[in-house]
Amino acid sequence: MFVWVAVWRDRIRYWVLNSNDVSGNRYFSNKQHRGNVGEGQLHLTRENISGFDKYEAASTGIKPAVISAYKRLK
């Protein structure tokens, strides 16, 4: 599971993704650096952040979001 936290001066956001959500995402790149083995990065930008809305969780809803992400793996 991936629990991502973004902190701005006036807001905190949380996203919960499973490994398939990440590896299958159009913004995922497995070319993190030379000699890369099993690493990657997900490019989250101002222009594409809305594409991650379906993974967003409230601070009080992280546990159910993790359970839901786990169930999506099956």
**pLDDT, tens digit, for every residue of 28-66?**
988 777 777 777 888 889 999 999 999 999 999 999 999
At residue 24, the pLDDT reads 92
CA 73 to chain centre: 14
Provide the CB-side half-sphere exposure for 33 (13 A, CA). 0
Structure tokens at 63: 């546990």
Q: What is the dihedral of CA 52, 20, 25, 66, to 10 degrees?
A: 10
9/38 Cα distance (integer angstroms): 33
**pLDDT, tens digit, for every residue of 61-71?**
999 999 999 99
